[in-house]
Amino acid sequence: MNVSKTINPSAKYFQIPGIITETHWIVERVLDGDTLIVKEEFGQESKEIRLYGLDAPEVHMSRKMREDEAKSHLPAALLLELGLQSLDYVLQVCPPGTRITLLTEKKNELDFWLRQLAYVIMPSGKCLNELLIEKGWAKTSNNYYCSYLHYFQQLTILAKASNAGIFKFSGSF
C-alpha cells in the first residue's frame, strides 16, 4: 500500500525560533487586505491582527491612502479599488468564521499601533500572509520585520512579473 504523506505548507513558520503559537481563534471580521479582527473560539477575547511582512492597499480614505498615492503616483480612486479587491480576496479565502492559528515572533510582537503581528495559518495549512503576496493582492513591506521577509520579497517579484492580482492594474503599488 502506497501511503502519501500530507505536508503542511506552512510548517516552516512553526520552525521560527521563539515563535508563539495561538490556536483556537476565529476570524470575526476582515478589515482590509492586511488586518483582521479575531476572537477566541472558547473564550471572550477579541483582538486586531496585522499580517506580518505585507501591505495591502487601503479601503478608506486616510492619511495612509494619501501617503500611498504620493509614493505610487496612482490616484486614490484606483488605490481604493485595488484595496477593495484585496479585501474581497481575503474574504474569499479566509472569511469570517474561519478557524485559524496565529503565529507571532517573540522578538517582534506588535506594530506601531499596538496591534498584534502574526502569520495567519488557515485550516488548509496555508499561510494567509504568503498567499496574499503570492497571488499579488498585497506587496511585501519591511515596516515590521519578520523572519520570512526575504522570501516574501521574492514572492512579490514573481507576482509583479506575472501581473498577478493588483499588479495587473499597476506595477507601482
Beta bridge partners, 100, equal: 25
Tell me whether residue 173 is in a domain.
no
Q: What is the DSSP string of the chain?
A: ---PPPPPTTHHHHTSTTEEEEEEEEEEEEEETTEEEEEETTSS-EEEEEETTEE---SS--HHHHHHHHHHT--HHHHHHHHHHHHHHHHHHS-TT-EEEEEEETT--B-TT-PEEEEEE-TTS-BHHHHHHHTTSSEE--SS--TTHHHHHHHHHHHHHTT-GGGGT-S--
Tell me whether residue 51 is in a domain.
yes
Q: What is the reported pLDDT for 3? A: 46
Q: What is the reported pLDDT for 23? A: 97
CATH number at residue 71: 2.40.50.90
Tell me whether residue 39 is in a domain.
yes
Tell me whether residue 3 is in a domain.
no
Q: What is the reported pLDDT for 1? A: 45
Tell me whether residue 111 is in a domain.
yes
Domain count, the chain: 1
Does this model's pTM top 0.85?
yes
Tell me whether residue 2 is in a domain.
no
Q: Which domain holds residue 15?
A: 11-162
Render pLDDT for 71-87 as a digit per residue (tens, 0 to 9).
877 777 777 788 899 99
**What are the b/e assignments for 124-139, b being 16+ CB within 10 Å?**
eebbbbbbbbbbbbbb
Q: What is the reported pLDDT for 128? A: 98
Tell me whether residue 5 is in a domain.
no
pLDDT beneath 50, residues of the chain? 1-4
Tell me whether residue 112 is in a domain.
yes
Render pLDDT for 23-35 as a digit per residue (tens, 0 to 9).
999 999 999 999 9
